[in-house]
Amino acid sequence: MKMTSVFASTAACVILAGCSYVAEKTAPQKHAAATRTAAALKADELFWATLHGGAYQQIPQALEAETAAYLADPTDTVSAAHVGWLHIWRLSERTRLDSISATLTDDVILSRRYFQEAVALDPTDARYLGFLAGATLAEGNIHHDERLTRRGYFMMQDAIKAWPEFNLFTAGYVMSTQPAESERFKQALQWQWQNLDVCVGETVDRRTAEYAKYMTLETREGKKRVCWNSQIAPHNLEGFFLNMGDMLVKAGDWETARKIYADAKLSPTYSQWQYREVLENRIRDAPDNVAAFNAPVGATYRGDKQIMVTTAFSCMACHQQ
């Protein structure tokens, strides 16, 4: 009788587990909205004005507008992605703040959740997958959760395969915080070189880092459009070379870093870039910055004597007009 009771209890658990699995898997999927609301379009105007204006202090207002638009229509892919982007921007450039709250790290959790929605609504746009992978990696790092970190890493591999011109940079940038001697950092730096290769269709010389001959390849069409400056990222080229130079300096190769930094000057909009002085100082101070870029970053750190991803222009170096 006792065994029968145990068997019945076990069977009930199995059945319930099976029921929950079936119930979840057969639930109707969300589908992306075919049109967007007037409120969403209005929120987008504030989003782009905030982003391109470098108005970090205006993030709460932009976030409120985009979140409200998403809640009014949770099938709006763009609104979901914009909410995710604002959360990750607020965390990334936190050194702008006079006081950094511990709860600011919650932004990475919210960013991941909204990019998860964007990916579910539009799995064809690998940019969303790259941002989701980056947020997952960041969350894993914050919580010292190796399982989550590995999930983000393999998710990023999928994103790279889907759109290498975009996600090789995303992957390397997120992992540039790793120790210079680690395999993850070495992989991140290699991804930056590979990003240049896939953008120009051949292997860029690792010794000379000569890029001038490729400037005629600039395009606004297809997947390679993300290799150049655009309306979304007005100084994408400058920001890319600033970050890659920083990573080379961190790796100890300051001589090659100077050549990569100089490639930023090839951009036709270099004279309008607000971070020209930062780059010029990087070129001048490259040997000294090897130690600075490898030094731990404290909670009270202010300034730009660290690699780009940890500075107050980690997003704005590419996106600020």
- Note whether 276 and 208 are same-domain residues: yes
Q: Are residues 116 and 204 in the same domain?
A: no
CB atoms within 10 A of CB 195: 26
Q: What is the pLDDT of residues 256-304, one digit of tens each?
A: 999 999 999 999 999 999 999 999 999 999 999 999 999 987 655 566 7
235 contacts 267 by C-beta, under 8 angstroms: yes
Whether 223 is in a domain gets the answer: yes
Q: Per the structure block, which two tokens stand in for 59? A: 């993030």
Residue 8 lies in a domain: no
pLDDT, tens digit, for every residue of 65-120? 999 999 999 999 999 999 999 999 999 999 999 889 999 999 999 999 999 999 99
Calculate mean pLDDT across residues 143-172.
Answer: 97
Quick one: pLDDT band at residue 30, thresholds 50, 70, 90? Answer: confident
Q: What is the mean pLDDT of residues 122-126?
A: 97
DSSP string, 39-89: HHHHHHHHHHHHHHTT-GGGHHHHHHHHHHHHHH-TT-HHHHHHHHHHHHH
Residues in contact with 110: Cβ distance below 8 Å, sequence separation at least 6, in sequence order: 83, 84, 87
156 and 196 inside one domain = no
Do 244 and 144 have their domain in common? no
Q: What domain range includes position 127?
A: 38-162
Model pLDDT, residue 6: 56
Give 29's pLDDT tier (boundaries 50, 70, 90).
confident
d(CA 110, CA 105) in angstroms, rounded, equals 9
The Cα-based distances of 24 to 28, 29, 38 in angstroms read 9, 10, 33
Q: Residue 27 domain-assigned? A: no
Q: Checking phi first, is residue 303 left (phi over 0); if not, alpha (psi -120 to 50) or beta?
A: left
Q: Is residue 73 domain-shared with residue 197, that is, in the same domain?
A: no
- Number of separate domains in the chain: 2
Question: Could you tell me if 73 and 40 are in contact, meaning their C-beta atoms sit under 8 angstroms apart?
Answer: yes
CATH number at residue 58: 1.25.40.10
Predicted model pTM: 0.90
Of 106, 129, 162, the residue that ends a domain is 162
